[in-house]
Amino acid sequence: MDQRAVPEPTGREQFQVDLRGIVEILSKHLYSSEQVFVRELIQNAVDALTARANLGQRYQGRIDIYADAPGNPNAGTGTNTGTGTNTGADTRGGERTATGGTVRIVDNGVGLTADDMRTMLATIGASSKRDILEQTRGSFLGQFGIGLLSCFLVADEIVVRSRSARTADAPTVQWVGSADGTYRIFPAEHPLAEPGTEVTVTARPDAARWVTPRRLRESVIGYARYVPAPIRVFTPGGPAGGEPVAWAAPPWRLDFVAAGQVCQRDFGFRPINRIPLSVPALGIEGVGFVMDGWARPDIRAGDRVYLHGMLVSDSNTQLVPDSAFFVRAELEAGALSPTASREALQDNDLLADARRELDRQITEWLMRLSAERPAEFAQIADLHTNGIKAIAEHHSGLLDVVFRTFEFETNDGAMPLAEVAERAGELVYVSSVDVFRSVAGLAAAQGGVLLINAGYANDVALLAAAAQQYELPLQEFKADALGATFSAPPAAAGAAVGRLEAMGRSALADMTPGQPGPQVRVATFFPPDVPAVLLGAENSSSGAGDGIWGELFTTMQDPAPVPELVVNFQNPAVEELLRLSSGTGPAAGTDGPVAHGIRMLFVAAQLAAGRRLDRGASDVLTEALTALLHQQRAARGSSQPPAGPTGPPPPAASSPPSPTGPASPTGPPSPSGRTGPSGPTAGHRPEHPNTTS
């Protein structure tokens, strides 16, 4: 290898930084919008006031913010007259051009020297409080030295004039930074009258919307409403002395009525209650507002979080636990640290500790409310049942409140879990609302099983926690278990039952494409007015969808169980099917009333089980109804053709009793071996109001 091709070693060299590239990263990946430059400048000004106070100097701090009209070629240059206008020479040189407007922020804080400017303004990543303020770091809003760069989101140039407060005769120096990565420092042509700093940002025409007087005022109030510093906003045509942005008392220090007005303004609702929140060890304080309407348990809208009074985020979800989705909070983050963008909090151990403590406080507040002000607790429970359940799942005390007082839907009416446990000695639940609707009455009628509807958010997890805490048996009820409670038909009806079951299997053979056809069984169960129930279909994939995606989904599932259609031997319609199936001719054929009746019972049982009908089932229902209507017309002796474009045929002259009507009490025995209409037998319970028929 030719060693002459290897370069000589050099000393340490600096990375080359493309400032425009960094600004693009800030705008697209760090900050939520260009508007944040206003917040960054206010933060720097507030920190400058804090730094000067730490020097022990007696003075009255202030922050003045000026908005100049867009298009003013003199905007952004010269000195502050205190009236919102600018005078003086062009500090940048060259011909003036129209601009998108100018924002200037002036403070009488600690100020900067030329060396400070090189270290703090021209070094990316250096904190403007790095050395002299390290011991009092928690008093400052800014934690990173990139805040000033946010001004390049709207401008190509930043002008800073500053005079240090550390020495009485410090000169005023000027720093002019450009988006191309260069800067200049030189003595200011127009000295400041007192220590402090003036930052001038002249927006590009394409960024004019971010610096209009109206938007600037709204931004200042939105970001700095609770900042404990005197801030004034000067706008063209505004008061000569500026408009004070009065430091408002935060909502956690207001009474309920005043705090509710803040909630209405910030969140858009009137709270029905409020929860005091405080973590003194971390300097966190705030208030949680209980929402006055339903809230989605899967989405927390977020909270307004401040750091030393400056808004960090209006949709923060880091502090208040997700289980409290019915609460919107306003919080001072205290000692918690912001991220580089200052739009979120650093995810660390302190944040985790704070979140756990706030979770505990919300839970204990609910417990106290239930004991001391039960009417207020009931109001919250009615609106936010799922939210309280979600919290109770992880807190034994609140779980006890829910166990004793919250009513759950059962197949014997609404009742607390404590009553269910007392009556049944166990917790038996159904995890689907639709399945519960289909089996509730049947389960009660067969054997008195007390079922809990656990088909809503957090219910199953809550039942598991309750079963563990109170040492109760817990089991999920499956609809298929009903089949074991059904009785066999009388032996005398065996032949008719066998024929109907065979005809039913034949009629349903093509109802489940790609799978074995449903089984058909005749059984006796209560209540008699339920003609059929579908078992073994809870995990069926028939509802996966149509087309290629539905087929793909189906192939990815485990083989679906073969459904079983159980028809009720006691039901009058089934009794008529048994009678028709015992004969011969068209009625017993594959396109006769027996086949169509079985298909209709199958579709009806699907609906009762809460299953979505696919195209095939809907077509079957239409075909069966059409065929039965045609057969009914034929039974009436009508010779009219089916209805066509000219309208339906005229009604028949007479209408004999329907063949599906109940047999006369004195008539011949039916194939089931009974005479007369079916009805409740001795010992049969009255129909439960939740029965699906």
- CA distances from residue 162 to 65, 111, 169, 189 in whole angstroms, order as listed: 16, 5, 13, 12
Burial status of residue 15 (CB atoms within 10 A of its CB: 0-12, 13-18, 19 or more)? exposed
Strand partners, 276: 287
DSSP string, 450-470: -EEE--STTHHHHHHHHHHHT
For residues 19 and 148, give the distance between their C-alpha atoms in angstroms, rounded to a whole number: 12
Q: CB neighbours (10 Å) of residue 415?
A: 17
Within 562-655, residue ranges assigned H as helices are: 572-581, 593-608, 615-635
Residue 594 neighbours by CB distance under 10 Å: 27
Write out the two tokens for 530.
Answer: 């339920």
CA-nearest of 37, 42, 77 to 62 is: 42
Six-digit token pair at 357? 């403590």
Provide the CA 382 distance to its chain's centre, in angstroms.
Answer: 19
Q: Tell whether residue 40 is among the known ligand binding residues.
A: yes
| Nearest-10 Cα torsion for 186, 187, 189, 193 | 140
Cα(482)–Cα(440) distance, integer angstroms: 11
The C-alpha atoms of residue 200 and residue 188 are separated, in whole angstroms, by 14
Q: Give residue 364's region: left, alpha or beta (phi > 0; psi -120 to 50).
A: alpha
Contact 330, 252 (CB under 8 A): yes
Single-letter residue type at 685:
R
Identify the bridge partners of residue 161 per DSSP, sorted by sequence position: 174, 198
From CA 268, how far away is CA 286, in angstroms rounded? 18
User: Does the annotation list 197 as a binding residue?
Assistant: yes
CA torsion sign for 598, 599, 604, 607 is positive
The phi and psi torsions of 231 (rounded to 5 degrees) equal: -120, 135
Helix, strand, or coil (residue 500): helix
Instruction: Determine if residue 77 is labeled as part of a ligand binding site.
Output: no
352 contacts 409 by C-beta, under 8 angstroms: no
Q: What is the DSSP letter of 410?
A: B
Question: Alpha-carbon distance 375 to 363, whole Å?
Answer: 17
Distance CA 690, CA 410 (A): 9
What is the Rg, in whole angstroms, of the alpha carbon atoms belonging to the chain? Answer: 39
Handedness of CA 528, 529, 535, 538 (dihedral sign): negative
Q: Annotated binding residue at 412? A: no
Query: In terms of C-beta density within 10 A (0-12 exposed, 13-18 middle, 19 or more buried), how is residue 16 classed?
Result: exposed
Total length of the chain: 693
Rounded CA-CA distance 391/462 in Å is 9
How far is residue 332's CA from residue 309's CA, in Å, rounded to a whole number? Answer: 7
Q: How far apart are CA 329 and CA 267, in angstroms?
A: 9
Kind of pairing between the strands at 172-178 and 231-234: unpaired
CA angle 251, 257, 260 (to 5 degrees): 55
Residues flagged as binding site: 40, 44, 107, 197
* Residues placed in the known binding site for ATP: 40, 44, 107, 197
